[in-house]
Structure 1
Amino acid sequence: MDTEDTDRIDAAVLALLRLTLHDGDRAWKEHSWDVLGRLHAQGLIFDPVNEARSVQLTPEGLERSATLFEALFGRGAA
Structure 2
Amino acid sequence: MDIDTAAVDNAALALRYLTLHDHDRVWKNFGGDVMNWLYSMIDDPVNKAKSVVLIDEGLCESKHLFKQHFSAPAAKVSHETNF
Q: Which structure dedicates a bigger proportion of its chain to helix?
A: 1
